[in-house]
Structure 1
Amino acid sequence: MKVSARNVFTGKITSLTDGAVNAEVELTTAGGDRIIAIVTEGSVKSLGLVVGQDAIAYVKAPWVMVLTGDANVRFSARNQFAGKVTSVSKGAINAEVAIELPSGMVVYAVITHQAVLELGLKPGAAATALIKASQVVLGVR
């Protein structure tokens, strides 16, 4: 299956917390990166999600926010991936920023040219990718 989401995390479900309407699902990749998804209880049932199951988390690049600077700032975004910028590809309107994590995984963000300038994003710069758990889409084979 091919998807348009630029960020694909493959791994195992390592935690699942059920709620009345939504569930919190933690997926851990082979490299140790953890991504949290908030999905409906209906999705938990229809996908048959259980701890230990293989799953895939998808995040579209425009849903990824980029942070630079003070690492002591706190955010409500559950997924915070610190790494180094490996590339900035400028398009007509936006730019795609690739942030490589210590595990070797790369997270892609699509942000405005102005944001690239304001954040000082260039290869080698430290940056953090922020992803809200509600922006993560889960799939299973």
Structure 2
Amino acid sequence: MSISARNQLTGKIESIQEGAVNAIVTLKLAGGNNITSTISMEAVKDLGLVSGKEATAVIKATEVMIGIGDLKLSARNQFAGEIVKVTEGAVNANVALKTDGGNTITATISMTAVKELGLAPGVKAKAVIKATSVMMAV
């Protein structure tokens, strides 16, 4: 299956914290980064997710935020890195950040935010993704 989501990060499931309705699934990515997903227990069972199984975290670029500096947020997924590409449009831009772990994460953000944050190749930044915005695929 091919999908339009720009961010597809493959790794191995490190842990599954089960709740009554939802689970928190932690995926260990190449380069040492972890990404966390909050998905339903039904999805965990349907996908056959277990520790050690290979899976892919799927995130739409519109669900990725970009921040500068020391961020204290409730979002579980915060990836430090460097902006490698900014593709500007009339209203929005696609911003690619290479994480310190070597993964590339793309965000679609407003041109206003790009200008206010001074985003350009070489700028240190963080990609921020809420765990509820991370889908899992096998």
TM-score class, shorter: over 0.9
Question: Which residue matches 2:77?
Answer: 79
Any unmatched runs of 5+ in structure 2? none
TM-score (norm 1): 0.95
2:134 aligned with 1:108, yes or no? no
In structure 2, distance between residues paired with 1:30 and 1:97: 21
Query: Which digits, 9 at most, give the CA deviation of each residue in 1:25-67, with x for residues without a partner?
Result: 0001122121000000000111111001010110000100110
In structure 2, distance between residues paired with 1:47 and 1:84: 33
One-letter code aligned to 1:133: A
One-letter code aligned to 1:88: V
- State the secondary structure of the residue aligned to 2:31: coil
Question: Which residue matches 2:96?
Answer: 98
Contact 2:90-2:111 at 8 Å conserved across structures: no
One-letter code aligned to 1:16: I
In structure 2, distance between residues paired with 1:123 and 1:59: 22
Structure 1: which 4+ aligned runs deviate by more than 4 Å? none
TM-score (norm 2): 0.97
Question: Which residue matches 2:66?
Answer: 66
Structure-to-structure mapping, 1:23-42, within 5 angstroms: 23-42=23-42
* 1:93 Cα deviation from its structure 2 partner: 2.0
- State the secondary structure of the residue aligned to 1:46: helix
One-letter code aligned to 2:39: V
Contact 2:30-2:101 at 8 Å conserved across structures: no
For the aligned residue pairs, the C-alpha RMSD in angstroms reads 0.8
One-letter code aligned to 2:74: S
2:39 aligned with 1:56, yes or no? no
Identity level (%) = 49
Question: Which residue matches 2:117?
Answer: 119
Number of residue pairs aligned between Structure 1 and Structure 2: 138
One-letter code aligned to 1:106: T
